[in-house]
Amino acid sequence: STQPVTIAVSGAGGNIGYALLFRLAAGDLLGPDTPVRLRLLEIPAGEAAAAGTQLELIDGAFPLLDQVSVHTDATEAFTDANIVFLVGARPRTAGMERADLLEANAGIFGPQGRAINDHAAADVRVIVVGNPANTNALIAQRNAPDLPAERFTALTRLDHNRAVGILAAEAGVPVTEVTGITVWGNHSPTQYPDLSQASIGEVAALAAVDVDWARGAYIDRVAKRGAEIIAARGSSSAASAASAAIDHMRDWVLGTPGDAWTSVALVSDGSYGVPAGLVSSFPAQSIEGRWAIVPDIDIDEFSRARIDASVAELIAERDAVAALGLL
Ligand code: NAX
């Protein structure tokens, strides 16, 4: 049988961790032939919750679960890891300024990036879920100078999947009919879900739905879906976030199907006017285990303004972290 793959999950005692770990143990990431070793990383305050999840993982008697361990030390958790989900982050609390939030998270993602750099497997792939996800990924990547920058990504697949699901519902079609959507920019309310290249079946999306809706209420609904979920459920999206993180990592390892593309926050190579080095969401295909930004997509005036606005926010976050001396 196949060698086990080592998967580390930070924030393992939290809401997303609880949804994610059982999917990983069931083989939803790499399929039914690949055993997994799960490393659950927490801070001391979350250790008991992670240990409880460890017990439940044992009680699942998952045939593919080779090992499950709990750690409060990042070096231990990341040693020989092939795949890392960085989910744990410092949330914004009442009275916290934006600079305080960025500083607290740099204090997490800097050392975690360094530990991955020094101890993870040579083929390690990292996805950052914890917010502010794009800038946290940038910080981790900058602290891992020995690894190719492309090994660090952030989750905008949830935004992408929301964009697909909401469009399909509006058009009254199954999600499998929807292609060509891109979410650009930051995982924040400035994100831009772009329907200009999208199709519903064989029909251009902008010919199938109202253009004012596509450029107005639709963008708002996708970008503010997180708040809509909190209002409805009383807690933030967890299962959909875990599912999207698995979609992202599975496509990265196994490839995107056919000529379809998805949305991934990647270290920019300067494509589409996004300054090189920023972690921003792009249309991307996974080919032979690497993300490639889809080239030569037409950017109209409306899209240009929306992309630029979200990228401006990423630049401001980067500059704020740099001003604190943390980059
Ligand atoms: P929870 O608060 O339920 O869980 C977070 C867990 O992380 C806690 O158990 C905490 O103890 C742990 N943690 C904190 N600092 C840590 C550290 N330094 N090392 C290891 N563990 C640490 O939050 P949850 O709902 O699971 O959300 C986790 C993160 O995902 C949040 O930052 C959230 O904002 C972010 N999200 C990002 C999304 C995206 O699309 N990029 C969508 C979903 C989610 O909102």
Q: What's the pLDDT tens digit per position in 162-180? A: 999 999 999 999 999 999 9
> CATH top-level class for 5-154?
alpha beta
Q: Is 160 a catalytic residue?
A: no
Q: How far apart are CA 32 and CA 55, in angstroms?
A: 22
In the chain, which residues fall in CATH 3.40.50.720? 5-154
Residue 79 has pLDDT above 90, yes or no: yes
290 alpha carbon, distance to own chain's centre: 15
Q: How far apart are CA 13 and CA 48, in angstroms?
A: 8
Nearest CA to ligand 1 atom 6: 11
The per-residue pLDDT for 95 is 87
In the chain, which residues fall in CATH 3.90.110.10? 157-316
Q: How many A from CA of 87 to the centre of ligand 1?
A: 5
110 alpha carbon, distance to own chain's centre: 18
Q: Best substitution site from 76, 87, 314 to test ligand 1's pocket, by max atoms within 8 Å of Cβ? A: 87
Q: How many A from CA of 139 to the centre of ligand 1?
A: 16
Nearest CA to ligand 1 atom 35: 130
129 lines ligand 1 (CB under 6 A): yes
Residue 81 has pLDDT above 80, yes or no: yes
Residue 1 has pLDDT above 80, yes or no: no
Q: How many A from CA of 14 to the centre of ligand 1?
A: 6
Q: How far apart are CA 152 and CA 155, in angstroms?
A: 10
113 lines ligand 1 (CB under 6 A): no
Q: How many A from CA of 46 to the centre of ligand 1?
A: 11
User: How are strands ordered across the β-sheet holding 125-128?
Assistant: 65-71, 36-41, 5-10, 83-86, 125-128, 152-154, 262-267, 279-287, 290-293
130 is in an annotated binding site: yes
Q: How far apart are CA 193 and CA 222, in angstroms?
A: 7
Q: Best substitution site from 236, 248, 262 to test ligand 1's pocket, by max atoms within 8 Å of Cβ? A: 236
Single-letter code of the amino acid located at 231: A
> CATH top-level class for 157-316?
alpha beta
Tell me: the pLDDT tens digits for 220-255? 999 999 999 999 999 999 999 999 999 999 999 999
